[in-house]
C-alpha cells in the first residue's frame, strides 16, 4: 500500500531525461562509437549546425518583420510621456548631459521649447523612483510624470496622482516640502517619496539652468 | 464479567499526570495582563480604542470558528487563543484604522497564518504580528496615521482624516536621529513612560505594559528569559552606540518608544512561536534585540519590532535544534550522533 | 494514446505549476492581473505546442546524442519569435511582462522536460501533451492573476475586458494593494498550490477510510 503510494507520488513528476546514450544507431563493425570518431562527430556537428541555421533564419525573419513595429511602439510610448510634461509636437532629441548631477539619467531636448529630464532621485523609498520633469526654456517647470515608481512601494504610486504632481507646475526656484519650509504639500504618509520628488525637480531645474 | 463494562478505563501513554492549567486559563491570564494597556489606550484615544479591540476579538473568534466548521474540524473557540490574537492585533494598529481594515487583518492572522498551518500550536509565525505585517503591506496609508494623544475618538465608522491631527511620533524622531523631547514630537521622557504619545493603541504606555508583563511573570505564565534578554540587548546596544545625546537618554528613549515593551512581553513570548529550550529562549531574545536595533537604525521604516520578532519566529526550529538540553545520562558525543541520525531520517 | 488521461494529467494531477512546481519564476512575477496571466499563459501554450510537435517530427532524424541540445535550440528560437511578435503587436502586454517575456523560452524548455515526451511519442500525442501542459500552466496563471487583481486592485480583467477598462468589482481603496506586489505573488500562489494539493489528496483519504472500516 505504502509502496504503491510512493510510486504514484514519483510518477506525478516527469521522467528526467537520461544522459544521452553512447550511440543509438548501429555502427559498421570495427568502428568505435565515441566523440573522437570523426565521421560521427562531423555528422553530429553538421546536423546541429543545420538546425541552428534554420532556427537563426527563423529568428532573423521574425525580427525583420517586426523590427519597425517594435521601434514605432517604443517611440510612441516615450513620446506620450514627453508630450505630457512638455508639449512640443516636434521631435525630441536625446542630448548628452555633461553636468555633475548623477541622478539625471537622460535629457531630451525640444529645440526652442525646453528640455525633459529623466531623473532618478537619490533617497527615494524604493530606490527606483524615476520621473520625467519638463522644464521650458525660461526655466519654469512645465510638468512632472512618474515613469517608474518602484513596484514594491505603494506610496510612490500615489506620487503620480495629479493633485500632487500639479503643485510643481510653474515653479522656477528650488522647491521644498511644507514641513521643510517650502510650499509643496507632501503626500500624507509618504514624506520620503515627496522629498525625493522635490529633489528630482530641483535637480532638473539646476540642470536646465546649466543648459540654458 | 459484567463489571468490566461499567469501568471506564482509558488507555493512554505517558504522561499520566494531568495539569489543571489549560490553554484557556493561560490565555485568560494574558487577557488580564493586557487590560491595563487597554485602559490606557481608552484613556488617551477615546472609546474607539475599546470598540476596535472588541471588533477585532469578535472577528478573530468568528473567523476561527467558521474555518473549523467549514473544514469539519473540532471547534476550538473555547480556548481564547483567538481572542488574544485579536487584542494583540488591535494593539499594534493606530486608533484611526477603519473597522473593515482590522477585520481583514484578523482574517489573515487567523485563517492564513494560524489555521492553514494546522491551528493552535502549529503556526510558525505569531498570528497577530503577521496580521500587522500584512496590513502594513496592503494598507500602509491607514496604518501610518498617528494622532496626538488626548484627541478623543468616538465610535465613528471611519475616523476621517479631518479628525486625525497627525502628530510626529517619538519613533519617527528616533529614526531621524533626534531625541524625542528635542525633536518634532516634543514628547518628554515621562510622557513616553505613561503613554502620552502618538502611536499604536496598545503600544504607547510602557507603564501599563510593564504591569501586565510583571503579572504574567509572577503568575508563571511566561518566563522572564525572553523579555529580559530582548530588552537587555536593545538597552545595551543603544547605550553603547547612541546616535545623539547622552547614552542614558538614548537608551531610555529607545526602550520606551514604539512597540518594544508590547513585543518583548506579549509577542516574543508566544509559546507556539518561541523556542522551548532555555538557551534557545536566550538566543531568541538576543536575536530579537539585535534585529530590532538594526531595523530601527538602518531600516526604511521607523519601527522594527514586529519584523524582528517575525524573522526570529522563522528561526525557532533551528534554535531549538541546536540548543537541545543534554539528555540525562547521555554523553555529548552520543547526543550529536543521535541528532545526525535524526537528520538522516528527516526529523531534523 | 490515452487522450483523457493526458488531459487530466496536464491540467490537474501533473499540473506543471501547482504539482510539479515548474516555471514558478514566471508564475510569481507576471501574475499581477488577468491580462498578464492570460497573456503569458497563452504565449507559453502556443510555443510549447509548436515546439513539441516540431521536436516529435524531427526526432527520428536527430541522433539521440543531440536530442537535448536540439530541444533547447528549437524551443528557445520559437520563444524568441513569440517574444518579438508580442512586442510588435501587443506592446502594452509586452510592457507589463517586461523581462519575463524573453524568459518564456526557459519556461517552455522546463515545461516540455527538454522534449523528452515529444521524442518518445508521435506528433499528435506530442502536440496534445504540449497543449495540455500549456493549458495547465495557463490555468494556474489565470487563477493567480485573477485573485491578485481582484483582491489587490478590486478590479477584474483590466486592460482586457469591457473595452480595456475592466470591471471595478469593489472600490480600489478597500483593496489589499500588497497582493499586487511580489510578496502577494508568493502568498496567493502558495494558497493555490495548497488548495490543489489538498484537492488531489482527498480521494486518497476517502479510500483509506474505507479500508479501515472494512478491516
Which residues of chain B are within 8 Å of residue C152 when distances are taken between CB atoms?
138
pLDDT cut 90: percent of chain B above it: 28
Distance CA B151, CA A110 (A): 53
Q: What is the pLDDT of residue B346?
A: 45
Q: Are B265 and B214 in contact (CB under 8 A)?
A: no
Q: Do C179 and B138 touch (CB under 8 A)?
A: yes
Which residues of chain B are within 8 Å of residue A154 when distances are taken between CB atoms?
140-141
pLDDT(B204) > 70: yes
Quick one: three-class SS letters along chain C? CCHHHHHHHHHHHCCCCCCCCCCHHHHHHCCCCHHHHHHHHHHHHHHHHHHHHHHHHHHHHCCHHHHHHHHHHHHHHHHHHHHHHHHHHCHHHHHHHHHHCCCHHHHHHHHCHHHHHHHHCCHHHHHHHHHHHHHHHHHHHHHHHHHHHHHHHCEECCCCCCCCCCEECCCHHHCCHHHHCHHHHHHHHHHHHHHHHHHHHHHHHHHHHHHHHHC
Which residues of chain B are within 8 Å of residue A192 when distances are taken between CB atoms?
300
Across residues C62-88, what is the average pLDDT? 86
pLDDT(A25) > 50: yes
In tens, the pLDDT along A197-211 reads 888 888 888 888 877
How far does the CA of residue C191 sit from the closest CA of chain B (Å)?
9
What residues of chain B, 120 to 149, have a C-beta less than 8 Å from chain C?
134, 137-139
pLDDT band at B186 (very low <50, low <70, confident <90, very high): confident
Q: Is B65 exposed, middle or buried (0-12, 13-18, 19+ CB in 10 A)?
A: middle
Across residues A144-163, what is the average pLDDT? 63
pLDDT(C59) > 60: yes
In tens, the pLDDT along B28-75 reads 889 999 999 999 888 888 888 899 999 999 999 999 989 888 888 887
Domain that holds residue C206: 3-214
The full set of domain ranges for chain B reads 23-322
Q: What is the pLDDT of residue B284?
A: 93
ipTM of model over 0.90: no
pLDDT(C40) > 50: yes
Domain B23-322 is in which class?
A: mainly alpha
Q: Which of C147, C152, C172, C174 would best serve as a mutation to test chain B binding (most B beta carbons within 10 A)? A: C174
pLDDT cut 90: percent of chain A above it: 4
Between residues C8 and B287, which one has the greater pLDDT?
B287
Q: What is the pLDDT of residue A19?
A: 53
pLDDT(A159) > 70: no
Q: Do C87 and A12 touch (CB under 8 A)?
A: no
Between residues B322 and C159, which one has the greater pLDDT?
B322
Q: Which of B107, B137, B158, B314 would best serve as a mutation to test chain C binding (most C beta carbons within 10 A)? A: B137
Q: Do A154 and B144 touch (CB under 8 A)?
A: no
Which residues of chain B are within 8 Å of residue A125 when distances are taken between CB atoms?
300
Distance CA C40, CA C93 (A): 9
In total, how many domains does chain C have?
Answer: 1
pLDDT(B166) > 80: no
pLDDT(B1) > 60: no
Which of the given ranges, A85-94, B11-20, B42-51, has the highest pLDDT on average? B42-51
Which three-class secondary structure state does DSSP give residue B121?
Answer: coil
C-beta neighbour count of A65 within 10 angstroms: 13
In tens, the pLDDT along B315-329 reads 998 988 888 877 777
pLDDT band at B217 (very low <50, low <70, confident <90, very high): very high
pLDDT(A192) > 50: yes
Which residues of chain A are within 8 Å of residue C30 when distances are taken between CB atoms?
none
Which three-class secondary structure state does DSSP give residue B166?
Answer: strand
pLDDT(A23) > 50: no
pLDDT(B198) > 50: yes
Q: What is the pLDDT of residue B231?
A: 93
Across residues B162-187, what is the average pLDDT? 72
Using CB atoms, which chains have 3+ pairs under 8 A with C? A, B
Q: What is the pLDDT of residue A36?
A: 53
Minimum Cα–Cα distance from A75: chain C residue: C91
Q: What is the pLDDT of residue B347?
A: 41
Between residues A69 and A176, which one has the greater pLDDT?
A69
In tens, the pLDDT along A27-58 reads 555 555 555 556 677 888 888 899 899 999 99
pLDDT(B155) > 80: no
Mean pLDDT of chain B: 83
Please give the distance of CA B286 from its chain centroid, rounded to a whole number.
16
Across residues B265-277, what is the average pLDDT? 88
Q: What is the pLDDT of residue B152?
A: 67
Q: Do A15 and C65 touch (CB under 8 A)?
A: no
Q: What is the pLDDT of residue B348?
A: 37
Q: What is the pLDDT of residue C144?
A: 92
Which of B32-41, B158-167, B253-262 is predicted with the least confidence, judged by mean pLDDT? Answer: B158-167
pLDDT(A151) > 50: no
Q: Are A156 and A129 in contact (CB under 8 A)?
A: yes
Q: Which of A5, A66, A77 would best serve as a mutation to test chain C binding (most C beta carbons within 10 A)? A: A66
C-beta neighbour count of C28 within 10 angstroms: 18
Q: What is the pLDDT of residue B54?
A: 93
pLDDT band at A18 (very low <50, low <70, confident <90, very high): low
Q: By the CB < 8 Å criterion, does B182 face chain A?
A: no
pLDDT cut 70: percent of chain A above it: 66
Q: What is the pLDDT of residue A20?
A: 52
The full set of domain ranges for chain A reads 32-85, 93-211
pLDDT(B156) > 70: no
Q: By the CB < 8 Å criterion, does C73 face chain B?
A: no
Which among C178, C191, C194 is the nearest to B137, CB-wise? C178
Which of A75-79, B91-95, C210-214 is predicted with the least confidence, judged by mean pLDDT? Answer: C210-214
Q: Do C70 and A151 touch (CB under 8 A)?
A: no
In tens, the pLDDT along B16-41 reads 776 767 788 888 889 999 999 999 88
Question: How many secondary structure helices (H) and strands (E) does chain B include?
Answer: 16, 0
Which three-class secondary structure state does DSSP give residue B141?
Answer: helix
Amino acid at each position: 500500500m505504502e509502496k504503491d503510494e510512493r510510486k504514484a507520488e514519483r510518477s506525478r513528476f516527469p521522467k528526467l531525461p537520461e544522459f544521452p546514450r553512447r550511440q543509438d544507431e548501429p555502427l559498421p563493425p570495427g568502428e568505435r562509437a565515441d566523440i573522437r570518431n570523426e565521421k560521427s562527430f562531423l555528422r553530429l556537428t553538421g546536423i546541429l549546425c543545420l538546425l541552428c541555421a534554420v532556427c537563426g533564419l527563423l529568428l532573423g525573419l521574425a525580427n525583420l518583420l517586426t523590427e519597425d513595429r517594435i521601434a514605432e511602439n517604443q517611440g510612441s510610448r516615450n513620446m506620450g510621456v514627453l508630450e505630457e510634461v512638455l508639449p512640443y509636437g516636434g521631435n525630441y532629441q536625446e542630448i548628452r548631459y555633461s553636468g555633475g548631477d548623477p541622478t539625471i539619467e537622460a535629457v531630451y531636448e525640444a529645440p526652442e521649447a525646453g528640455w525633459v529630464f529623466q531623473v532618478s532621485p537619490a533617497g527615494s523609498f524604493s530606490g527606483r523612483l524615476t520621473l520625467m520633469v519638463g522644464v521650458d526654456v525660461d526655466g519654469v517647470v512645465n510638468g512632472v510624470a512618474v515613469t517608474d515608481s518602484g513596484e514594491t512601494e505603494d506610496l510612490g504610486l500615489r506620487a503620480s496622482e495629479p493633485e500632487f504632481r500639479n503643485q510643481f507646475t510653474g515653479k522656477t526656484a528650488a522647491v521644498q516640502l511644507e514641513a521643510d519650509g517650502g510650499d509643496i504639500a507632501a503626500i500624507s504618509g509618504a514624506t520620503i517619496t515627496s522629498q525625493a520628488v522635490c529633489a528630482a525637480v530641483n535637480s532638473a531645474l539646476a540642470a536646465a539652468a546649466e543648459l540654458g | 464479567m459484567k463489571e468490566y463494562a461499567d469501568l471506564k478505563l482509558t488507555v493512554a501513554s505517558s504522561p499520566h499526570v494531568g495539569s489543571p492549567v489549560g490553554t484557556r486559563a493561560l490565555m485568560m491570564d494574558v487577557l488580564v495582563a493586557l487590560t491595563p494597556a487597554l485602559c490606557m489606550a481608552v484613556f488617551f484615544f477615546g472609546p474607539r480604542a475599546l470598540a476596535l479591540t472588541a471588533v477585532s476579538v469578535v472577528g478573530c473568534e468568528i473567523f476561527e470558528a467558521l474555518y473549523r466548521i467549514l473544514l469539519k474540524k473540532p471547534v476550538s473557540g473555547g480556548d481564547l487563543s483567538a481572542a488574544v490574537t485579536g487584542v494583540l492585533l488591535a494593539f499594534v494598529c493606530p486608533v484611526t484604522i477603519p473597522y473593515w481594515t482590522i477585520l481583514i487583518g484578523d482574517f489573515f492572522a487567523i485563517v492564513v497564518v494560524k489555521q492553514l498551518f494546522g491551528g493552535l500550536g502549529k503556526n510558525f509565525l505569531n498570528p497577530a504580528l503577521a496580521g500587522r505585517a500584512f496590513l502594513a503591506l496592503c494598507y500602509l496609508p491607514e496604518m501610518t496615521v498617528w494622532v496626538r494623544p488626548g484627541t478623543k475618538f468616538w465610535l465613528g465608522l471611519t475616523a476621517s482624516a479631518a479628525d486625525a491631527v497627525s502628530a510626529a511620533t517619538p519613533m519617527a524622531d528616533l529614526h531621524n536621529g533626534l531625541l524625542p523631547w528635542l525633536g518634532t514630537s516634543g514628547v518628554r521622557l515621562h510622557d513616553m513612560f505613561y503613554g502620552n504619545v502618538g502611536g499604536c493603541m496598545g503600544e504607547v504606555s510602557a507603564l501599563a505594559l510593564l504591569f501586565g508583563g510583571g503579572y504574567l511573570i509572577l503568575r508563571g505564565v511566561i518566563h522572564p528569559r525572553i523579555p529580559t534578554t530582548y530588552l537587555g540587548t536593545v538597552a545595551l546596544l543603544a547605550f553603547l552606540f547612541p546616535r545623539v545625546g547622552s547614552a542614558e537618554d538614548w537608551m531610555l528613549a529607545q526602550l520606551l518608544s514604539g512597540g518594544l515593551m508590547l513585543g518583548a512581553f506579549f509577542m516574543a513570548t508566544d509559546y507556539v512561536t518561541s523556542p522551548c529550550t532555555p538557551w534557545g529562549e536566550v538566543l531568541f531574545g538576543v536575536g530579537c534585540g539585535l534585529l530590532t536595533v538594526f531595523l530601527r537604525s538602518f531600516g526604511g521604516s521607523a519601527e522594527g519590532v514586529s519584523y524582528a520578532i517575525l524573522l526570529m519566529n522563522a528561526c525557532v526550529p533551528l534554535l531549538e535544534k541546536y540548543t537541545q538540553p543534554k539528555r540525562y545520562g547521555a554523553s555529548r558525543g552520543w547526543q550529536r550522533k543521535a541528532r545526525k541520525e535524526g537528520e538522516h531520517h528527516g526529523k531534523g | 494514446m490515452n487522450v483523457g488521461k493526458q488531459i487530466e494529467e496536464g491540467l490537474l494531477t501533473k499540473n506543471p505549476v501547482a504539482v510539479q512546481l515548474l516555471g514558478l519564476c514566471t508564475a510569481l512575477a507576471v501574475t499581477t492581473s488577468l491580462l498578464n496571466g492570460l497573456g503569458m499563459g497563452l504565449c507559453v501554450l502556443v510555443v510549447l505546442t509548436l515546439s513539441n510537435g516540431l521536436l516529435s517530427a524531427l526526432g527520428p532524424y536527430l541522433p539521440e546524442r543531440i536530442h537535448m541540445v536540439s530541444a533547447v535550440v528549437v524551443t528557445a528560437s520559437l520563444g524568441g519569435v513569440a517574444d518579438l511578435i508580442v512586442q510588435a503587436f501587443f506592446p502594452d502586454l509586452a510592457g507589463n511582462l517586461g523581462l519575463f517575456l524573453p524568459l518564456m523560452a526557459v519556461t517552455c524548455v522546463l515545461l516540455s522536460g527538454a522534449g523528452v515526451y515529444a521524442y518518445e511519442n508521435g506528433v499528435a500525442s506530442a502536440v496534445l501533451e504540449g497543449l495540455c501542459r500549456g493549458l495547465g500552466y495557463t490555468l494556474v496563471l489565470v487563477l493567480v492573476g485573477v485573485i491578485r487583481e481582484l483582491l489587490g486592485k478590486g478590479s477584474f480583467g483590466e486592460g482586457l475586458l469591457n473595452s480595456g477598462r475592466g470591471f471595478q468589482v469593489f472600490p480600489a481603496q478597500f483593496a489589499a494593494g500588497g497582493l499586487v506586489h511580489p510578496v502577494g505573488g508568493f502568498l496567493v500562489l502558495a494558497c493555490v498550490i495548497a488548495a490543489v494539493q489538498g484537492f488531489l489528496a482527498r480521494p486518497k483519504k476517502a479510500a483509506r477510510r474505507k479500508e479501515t472500516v472494512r478491516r
